[in-house]
Amino acid sequence: MEEKLKEYRALRRRKQLINEAKEKLEAGRQKIVDMLVPNAFKDMGKEKEEEALLMENEEIPQEEEKLLPPEPESPSEVASETSEVESFIEEQPESWQYFTIKWAIVGIVWLALFIVFLKIQFGAVFFVISVLVGICINTRTRPKKRGEVSAYSVFNENCVSIDGTLKAEQFEREIRYGAASVR
Query: At 48, is the secondary structure helix, strand, or coil?
Result: helix
pLDDT, mean of residues 15-41: 81
Mean of per-residue pLDDT scores for the chain: 77
Note the pLDDT of residue 119.
96
Report the C-alpha gap between 5 and 10 in whole angstroms. 9
* pLDDT at residue 128, as a whole number: 96
What pLDDT, on the 0 to 100 scale, is given for residue 111? 97
CA 38 to centroid of chain Cα atoms: 27
pLDDT value of residue 56: 61
Which of 98, 158, 113 lies closest to 150, judged by CA? 158
What distance lies between CA 165 and its chain's CA centroid?
22
Q: What percent of the chain has pLDDT over 90?
A: 21
Average pLDDT over residues 93-101: 86
Cα(164)–Cα(160) distance, rounded to whole angstroms? Answer: 12
pLDDT of residue 129: 96
Highest mean pLDDT among 34-43, 128-137, 138-147, 165-174: 128-137
* Whether residue 74 has pLDDT greater than 90: no
pLDDT the model gives residue 167: 83
The arithmetic mean of pLDDT across residues 53-58, rounded, is 61
Average pLDDT (48-73) is 56
Q: What is the mean pLDDT of residues 129-134?
A: 94
pTM for the model stands at 0.41
Cα(156)–Cα(163) distance, integer angstroms = 13
% of the chain at pLDDT higher than 70: 69
pLDDT over 70 (residue 138): yes
Stretch 102-109: mean pLDDT: 94
**Does the pLDDT at position 99 exceed 70?**
yes
